[in-house]
């Protein structure tokens, strides 16, 4: 699914099996956000095929947080692909999986602040709550916000998993709501398009879901 020039969403639609949405930024460097489960890697492969790319052409893989449905295939791209996630969530994954993880160590860590990859200028926001080191990615030039499992269309991320915190999630979402975003690209479910719809979505979450955090 083409979202706008240079941005594609590989939206996960199966109701019987869980996987994340993956997003592809087609800049001077090819960026893949949240590659998903290992046994469902064909989802990314097919999505890239539709835009004429093989996974080996990806330059950077950015992972919003350390849950397997987002992370597992971080190391499954070509030898030139560099992958990254937050140090907090990486340490958390190691703590849980130890040497059982089959994922190679990240090439770099995502930390709060600017991140330029080729001609794509992103901002990394540390947004804990769903996981201790969740990050969201904001692309100011296109006013696109990639939210991982922090916030969805009409819903919010779970806080009952290890390292989750309702208080932190609330603070993280409040921070995201301040950004000037025309498109919200969440880790699961529908993409929210249009500035007013993004605003409405944050308002609905504040009015309804914040009562449960």
- Does 67 bind Zn ion (CB under 5 A)? Our answer is yes
Binding test (CB under 5 A) with Zn ion, winner from 149, 150, 170, 184: 149
CB of 195 to Zn ion, least distance (A): 27
37/67 with CB nearer Zn ion: 67
Strand order in the sheet with 22-26: 2-4, 7-10, 22-26, 30-33, 60-62, 82-85, 108-109
- Number of residues located near Zn ion, criterion CB under 5 A: 2
Q: Pairing between strand 135-139 and 82-85? A: unpaired
CB of 40 to Zn ion, least distance (A): 15
Stretch that binds Zn ion, among 50-58, 78-86, 114-122, 144-152 (CB under 5 A): 144-152
- Does 34 bind Zn ion (CB under 5 A)? Our answer is no
Mutual angle of helices 166-177 and 195-207, in 10-degree steps: 150
With beta carbons less than 8 A apart as the criterion, state whether 73 and 104 touch.
no
Look at phi and psi of residue 164 and say left if phi exceeds 0, alpha if psi is from -120 to 50, else beta.
Answer: beta
Rounded CA-CA distance 169/116 in Å is 26
CB of 51 to Zn ion, least distance (A): 26
Stretch that binds Zn ion, among 28-36, 110-118, 146-154, 173-181 (CB under 5 A): 146-154
Could you tell me the two tokens for 124?
Answer: 């990394």
Give the nearest residue (CB) to Zn ion: 67
Interface with Zn ion (CB under 5 A): 67, 149
């Amino acid at each position: 699914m083409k979202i706008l020039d240079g941005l594609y969403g590989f939206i996960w639609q199966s109701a019987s099996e869980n996987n994340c949405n993956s997003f592809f930024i087609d800049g001077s460097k090819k960026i893949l956000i949240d590659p998903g489960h290992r046994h469902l890697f064909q989802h990314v492969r097919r999505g890239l095929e539709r835009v004429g790319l093989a996974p080996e052409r990806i330059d950077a893989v950015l992972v919003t947080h350390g849950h397997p449905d987002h992370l597992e295939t971080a190391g499954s791209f070509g030898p030139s692909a560099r992958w990254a996630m937050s140090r907090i969530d990486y340490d958390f994954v190691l703590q849980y999986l130890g040497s059982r993880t089959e994922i190679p160590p990240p090439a770099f860590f995502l930390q709060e602040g600017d991140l330029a990859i080729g001609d794509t200028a992103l901002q990394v926001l540390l947004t804990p709550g769903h996981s201790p080191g969740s990050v969201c990615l904001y692309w100011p030039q296109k006013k696109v916000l990639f939210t991982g499992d922090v916030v969805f269309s009409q819903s919010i991320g779970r806080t009952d998993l290890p390292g989750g915190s309702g208080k932190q999630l609330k603070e993280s979402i409040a921070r995201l709501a301040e950004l000037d975003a025309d498109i919200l690209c969440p880790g699961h479910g529908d993409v929210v398009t249009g500035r007013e719809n993004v605003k409405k979505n944050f308002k609905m979450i504040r009015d309804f879901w914040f009562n449960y955090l």
